[in-house]
Structure 1
């Protein structure tokens, strides 16, 4: 090992002590910056992955619609089923209704799904509570847990559904009574935006409520690989005639996904400043070391040490502080994120803000997803800034002349 690297290690790890005090303080600063930066990125990744999963499961990989009622959906279904990558194809219809229980009304999105299809694009059975898809028929309804909480509904209750068709008939001086449906089950996707604003009925009942006849609003398609969605959608758009259009789940939700990515980028940029603040402690501690060891630096120069080697000795200390702080920061971040639910749960119980967290963040728990690319990026930034912080003390040490340094008091 070169002598200047050996001396750098001796200054960081003096004989008789595990770590020098100045190096310890600097490493703690880097550790906290890395922990916060990596933790924020992992949480944002978790939110993105969780939202992506919920969007795919509740939207399907590709949807084909025309913006109007489609009365020839069977031909479209056959065309989509012929795609080799297709795993499930379902017709659907959706809109808004007035749902009333007792004297409490709400206006959820209503989805009509084909319960007779062999494979379901939307895995309803994965979301239902104490029920399955076989319980859904033309006289029953599945209600999101958020809607059920709003109206204080339980399984077995009867709700009234008012559709836009009723208003249309009123204009024609016809009177239609609301449709009474029994709540056959509740469903919970884990995504509050859907659970608090969606109900599910059979496709046939939806067609009746909206006066669609045999028509539907579109067709959903699931693929064996969601990464092929854009390719398949582009291919369908070339083959389908106007006004039909294929749209992927990414296209339909691109604004939300862009905001998530933008938030992650901005928060990363802001958190980098924590590491920059920590770099000042590295500069100050190494500059102090240069001043304290001026005579030793002069002696090393008199013994043949070059200015380059003097500079490398202090630059290497900054590099090592960055490495140690980065490793400790990654470990600290993982430990905190491992206990994140307990920490957040305790905080929300103390402040009484659990309902607010679910309302605004859409999830009852904080999702986390670790990515090696983020880890390498954070560690690289921390080590680069720490090494850069060691260059100023290194430059000052390199400029010291041995004769002047030896005369220093």
Structure 2
């Protein structure tokens, strides 16, 4: 090992002594900066990742729908022939009045095709009570919040009134509410969906809304690693122009919310990057202070034959080492925090009384966390690079010292 690198290590971590003030403060500053850059973007990225998974779990990778009603059989056959499409399922949706005794609610209702829904949407995974196998034309599955709000449970009889039913009543037709038995309760983890959704069979939904054999659209699942945007373009290029059908990716269908999350994550990343920059300025200041204190020592080294570049490398290497150690500690602490971020934030927000407000804004009952390996590598490269630059600034100052002037320094 070159002597100037060895000297840099000894100045940072002296043998048999406690760590120097410079080492502790510098490494701690970088550690906290990296921790912030891992945790805050990780939480914001978690919301985006969670929302993406939620959309795909409830709508598929692509949704094909028209402004009006469409026949399902012909479109299903057409979608099956498109490269990249591995499954599709029709759906119909609307709003109904659903009541249990004297407790009414107005949830969204969706009719699913029991023969194909599991090929696209993993609905069975989210059912916490009852079973999807029990769903038929005379039964219904409710979201957990909806079931709780109307006091329904497995086996409860609920009455459903659709707009089509009300329309028939206005024509003086004798119509009674449709009675369905609750056979399942599901919970996805999204506050809005868990509080206002009911699921019935596609035939029951068509009957409630007088759709005949028509549906409102189709959820499509793609092959793994298939480009969603390109697949949507292929589907749109092959759909009959007169059908009015259009394929939209999960990103297009939720563009506004995703853009808001992306903007928030970008702003948080930018702010945390400046926080780390402040910590790096601290390293520069401490290194410059160290140079002033060691002016004579630098003069002795120069008089013994040390080249200015070697003296400079000694201080530059100190900055890089501080960056490396601080980054390792910061990443470790950040990943541990992200692993337990739900419990930590829930505790803090409940103490502050803001937990309900956060749930109302982001619609998630749990705080997600997600950060990619490329983001971690970017943070590491950014911080180590800045720390090395901080050392270089101090090194440039040390390299300019002349031996005679340094030895004269008091």
The TM-score normalised by the length of structure 1 is: 0.92
Match of 1:153 in 2: 152
> Do the aligned partners of 2:84 and 2:226 also contact (CA within 8 Å) in 1?
no
TM-superposed deviation, 1:355? 4.7
Of 355-364 and 197-206, more deviation after overlay is shown by 355-364
- What does the per-residue CA deviation read over 1:297-324, in whole Å, with 9 as the maximum and x for residues that have no partner? 1222222323333222212211111111
CA separation of 1:320/1:116 partners in 2, compared to 1, >3 Å: closer, same or farther?
A: closer
> Do the aligned partners of 1:8 and 1:317 also contact (CA within 8 Å) in 2?
yes
CA separation of 1:378/1:110 partners in 2, compared to 1, >3 Å: closer, same or farther?
A: same
Match of 2:283 in 1: 282
Match of 2:402 in 1: 401
Q: Secondary structure at the match of 1:176?
A: coil
Of 169-178 and 185-194, more deviation after overlay is shown by 169-178
Q: Secondary structure at the match of 2:79?
A: helix
TM-superposed deviation, 1:266? 1.4
Q: What is the CA–CA distance in structure 1 between the aligned matches of 2:248 and 2:44, rounded to whole Å?
A: 26
TM-superposed deviation, 1:357? 4.5
Match of 1:233 in 2: 232
Q: What is the CA–CA distance in structure 2 between the aligned matches of 1:82 and 1:239, rounded to whole Å?
A: 10
- What does the per-residue CA deviation read over 1:143-171, in whole Å, with 9 as the maximum and x for residues that have no partner? 11121232232222222222222343354
Matched, 1:55 2:55: yes
Match of 2:14 in 1: 14
Match of 2:302 in 1: 301
Match of 2:113 in 1: 114
TM-superposed deviation, 1:119? 4.8
CA separation of 1:103/1:348 partners in 2, compared to 1, >3 Å: closer, same or farther?
A: farther
Matches within 5 A, 1:18-37: 18-37=18-37
Match of 1:45 in 2: 45
Match of 2:199 in 1: 200
* Structure 1 alignment gaps of length 5 or more: none
Report how many aligned residue pairs link the two structures: 408
Of 382-391 and 209-218, more deviation after overlay is shown by 382-391
Root-mean-square deviation over aligned CA pairs:
2.3
Of 186-195 and 374-383, more deviation after overlay is shown by 186-195
CA separation of 1:372/1:312 partners in 2, compared to 1, >3 Å: closer, same or farther?
A: same
Q: Secondary structure at the match of 1:130?
A: strand
Q: Secondary structure at the match of 1:406?
A: helix
The TM-score normalised by the length of structure 2 is: 0.92
Q: Secondary structure at the match of 2:226?
A: helix
Q: What is the CA–CA distance in structure 2 between the aligned matches of 1:379 and 1:117, rounded to whole Å?
A: 46
> Do the aligned partners of 2:103 and 2:150 also contact (CA within 8 Å) in 1?
yes
Q: What is the CA–CA distance in structure 1 between the aligned matches of 2:282 and 2:122, rounded to whole Å?
A: 54
TM-superposed deviation, 1:288? 1.4
Match of 1:223 in 2: 222
TM-superposed deviation, 1:370? 3.9
> Do the aligned partners of 1:23 and 1:285 also contact (CA within 8 Å) in 2?
no
TM-superposed deviation, 1:385? 1.7
Q: Secondary structure at the match of 2:120?
A: coil
Matches within 5 A, 1:4-403: 4-70=4-70, 72-83=71-82, 85-117=84-116, 119-174=118-173, 176-225=175-224, 227-242=226-241, 243-347=244-348, 350=351, 355-403=356-404
Q: Secondary structure at the match of 1:366?
A: coil
> Do the aligned partners of 2:342 and 2:368 also contact (CA within 8 Å) in 1?
no
Q: Secondary structure at the match of 1:265?
A: helix
Q: What is the CA–CA distance in structure 2 between the aligned matches of 1:254 and 1:31, rounded to whole Å?
A: 36
TM-superposed deviation, 1:354? 5.2
Q: What is the CA–CA distance in structure 2 between the aligned matches of 1:115 and 1:315, rounded to whole Å?
A: 66
Q: What is the CA–CA distance in structure 1 between the aligned matches of 2:339 and 2:123, rounded to whole Å?
A: 30
> Do the aligned partners of 1:187 and 1:195 also contact (CA within 8 Å) in 2?
yes
TM-superposed deviation, 1:117? 3.8
TM-superposed deviation, 1:230? 2.7
Q: What is the CA–CA distance in structure 1 between the aligned matches of 2:297 and 2:239, rounded to whole Å?
A: 80
- What does the per-residue CA deviation read over 1:36-85, in whole Å, with 9 as the maximum and x for residues that have no partner? 21122333333322221211110012222221011x32111112223454
Q: What is the CA–CA distance in structure 2 between the aligned matches of 1:62 and 1:335, rounded to whole Å?
A: 35
Q: What is the CA–CA distance in structure 1 between the aligned matches of 2:333 and 2:265, rounded to whole Å?
A: 20
> Do the aligned partners of 2:45 and 2:370 also contact (CA within 8 Å) in 1?
yes
